[in-house]
Amino acid sequence: MSEPFLFIAGHPALDFLNTEKADDAGERVELLAEPESVAAWLRASGMHPVPADDSLLSDARTLRDAVRSLVVAWTSDTPAPDEPLALLNCILATGAARQQMASDFTGQEIPVIPAPHPLLPLALSALNLLTRHDKTLVRKCAGTGCVLWFLDTTKNKRRRWCRMEACGNREKVSSHYQRHRKLADSA
């Protein structure tokens, strides 16, 4: 695998969203390029890896898109979209605790069903994020063209960038250039 995984978000569900990022030109870069990438990401994140096959790759990408839709709705104070909510709940339904999420972003438990889905730990992580965290602290990077998400756990709760050494530095260099360009143009 040529692209390293990013564990910068402060929450596993957001780190999972960040398995799709943007390159310097703003083009999407898929870090889950093959079934083995999903197993490698699960291992790197500390979750139990599962056997890699094509359905795992497809399921992981579908779950990631669903969680992204739910995070966007949640942070925008809009109702949970039906299809992503149904997909998340379908995976959650395979768990021993059988957790479910309601459209108002509250959690609930229902009777047990055996045979958990291989991505159940990711679904439980998403449930944890969406029902137990302060949505005002879940943010998308303010860097131009960046698509990464993070949970702001800084002391002053003013984090703006996925990483200071990446987007933060680019924005500061750009701002510095613009200020000096303005001074030069006015002189």
Per-residue pLDDT reduced to its tens digit, 41-88:
999 999 987 889 999 999 999 999 999 999 999 999 999 999 999 999
Q: Does 2 map to a domain?
A: no
| Rounded distance between C-alpha atoms, residue 10 and residue 51, angstroms | 26
Decide if 70 is inside a domain.
yes
Instruction: Give a yes or no: residue 6 inside a domain.
Output: no
pLDDT of residue 34: 95
Q: How far apart are CA 126 and CA 90, in angstroms?
A: 13
For the chain, how many structural domains are there in total?
Answer: 1
* Cα 80 from Cα 72, distance rounded (Å): 9
Contacts (Cβ under 8 Å, ≥6 apart) of 92: 98, 99, 100, 101, 120, 123, 124, 127
For residue 136, give the DSSP letter. Answer: G
Q: 179: pLDDT confidence band, cut at 50, 70 and 90? A: confident
The Cα 187–Cα 185 span in angstroms is 6
Contact 141, 167 (CB under 8 A): yes
**Residue ranges making up the domain that contains 177:** 12-186
* 3, part of any domain: no
Question: Domain of 129: which CATH number?
Answer: 1.10.3300.10
- The answer to the question of residue 5 being in a domain is no
Q: Is residue 1 in some structural domain?
A: no
The closest alpha carbon to 70, from 128, 23, 116, belongs to 128
Q: What is the pTM of this model?
A: 0.84
